[in-house]
Amino acid sequence: MATMRGWRTTGDGRLSSGEFDVPEPASGEVLIGVEACAVCRTDLHVVDGDLPRHRSPVVPGHEIVGRVLAGFDHEADGPRVGTRVGVPWLRSTCGRCRWCRSGRENLCERSRYTGWDADGGYAEYAVAPAAYVYRIPDALEPFQAAPLLCAGIIGYRALRRAALPPGGRLGLYGFGASAHLTAQIAIRQGAEVHVVTRGDPARRLALDLGAVTAVEPGRAVPPLDSAIVFAPSGEVVREALAALDAAGTCAVAGIHLSDIPPLDYQHQLFRERTLTSVTSNTRADGVELFRLAGRLDVRAEVTPYPMSRADRALADLAADRVRGVAVLDVTR
């Protein structure tokens, strides 16, 4: 059997590189030659064990761009061989439950996820259900497409959940891969964006992209109509809620969050403030995001890494040393 280069979790918070068998697509799946895979904070949670282990070892990575090499070859059923596609976090759903039937497949209790329930994109090849991949235009570079597949989609869904009124003030707490894409969408739709984040490079990037202010945690911001918390910190949720104006909404975008300390009802919830969460995405979210990103010319600030340095990319992400989004070049 043919082999490929790749990385797998070890179960003790590390990654291990090696040669693995090239996966074979099952019925309804396509085999993809991976070109690029963005590095997400969720990958850190999978590797570190912050999320329950669904498969161990597992190849992380769920923002995959590559070419279809085998599988469906009929346009009505799935992408043809040679088509460039993107593989997102949401890998499959049951299609039958009340959530799936009502257009809320992100809440399906039988949903499965790339790089968690099944091997992902930190490898030269990957398989994915044909019905859940996105066709990627050849004009869109793999390094630009990859971050949209999770950072972009989740940020877009969080923006919708945050109920930002037209021309409103939006606070972004944390400014990594997802936030820097979300900021561009919001600003180009007329919002006033204020960023709260650690680290001078992230604050400089926020200002470069058009944020009105970019300050350290604990510093005051103007009263906000909406806030999105990207940082996996419950303490930050308290800060974001306190910054909301009356009737404001705070959306928590991450899959993992440390415990939220006790809230002060008067200062953080009263006056009809709303706290909500974001769970995965629907396929429709991705279709809408790709259309919107093209129209608004949303561009990821990419920090590239060769696939041989995937462990370094994760370490840099954990230490907030990545400007924008880290993307693995799987062809190197």
Question: Six-digit token pair at 73?
Answer: 């070859």
Question: What is d(CA 218, CA 216) in angstroms, rounded to the nearest whole number?
Answer: 6
Q: What pLDDT digit, counting tens, does each position of 62-99 carry?
A: 999 999 999 865 555 678 899 999 999 999 999 999 99
What pLDDT does 78 receive?
A: 74
Q: Find, among 176, 168, 153, 283, the residue nearest to 226 by Cα.
A: 168
Contact 302, 147 (CB under 8 A): yes
Question: What is d(CA 229, CA 247) in angstroms, rounded to the nearest whole number?
Answer: 17
Question: What is d(CA 282, CA 158) in angstroms, rounded to the nearest whole number?
Answer: 12
All structural domains of the chain: 3-136+301-329 (3.90.180.10), 153-277 (3.40.50.720)
Angle ∠(97,103,108) on CA atoms, nearest 5: 40
Question: Six-digit token pair at 135?
Answer: 């066709």
DSSP 301-324: -EEEEEGGGHHHHHHHHHTT--SS
Beta carbons within 8 Å of 220's beta carbon, 6+ residues apart: 243
Contact 296, 18 (CB under 8 A): no
| CA dist list (Å): 295 to 160, 284, 301 | 17, 17, 18
**Widest pairwise Cα distance in the chain:** 64
| 56 CB-contact burial (10 Å; exposed 0-12 / middle 13-18 / buried 19+) | exposed
Q: Find, among 206, 132, 182, the residue nearest to 289 by Cα.
A: 182
Task: Count how many residues are written for the chain.
Answer: 332
Q: Which amino acid is at 244?
A: L
Quote the distance between the C-alpha of residue 121 and its chain's center: 14
Q: Which amino acid is at 317?
A: L
Question: What is d(CA 11, CA 305) in angstroms, rounded to the nearest whole number?
Answer: 23
What is the DSSP secondary structure assignment for residue 286, as one 8-state letter? H
Q: Which regions in the chain score pLDDT beneath 70?
A: 72-77
Phi-psi region of 13 (alpha: psi -120 to 50; beta: other; left: phi over 0): left
What is the DSSP secondary structure assignment for residue 226, as one 8-state letter? E
For residue 282, which phi and psi values (nearest 5 degrees)?
-100, 165
Q: What pLDDT digit, counting tens, does each position of 39-65 carry?
A: 999 999 999 999 999 999 999 999 999
Question: What is d(CA 293, CA 288) in angstroms, rounded to the nearest whole number?
Answer: 8
Question: Six-digit token pair at 192?
Answer: 């006033």
| CA dist list (Å): 321 to 148, 233, 238, 318 | 20, 18, 25, 8
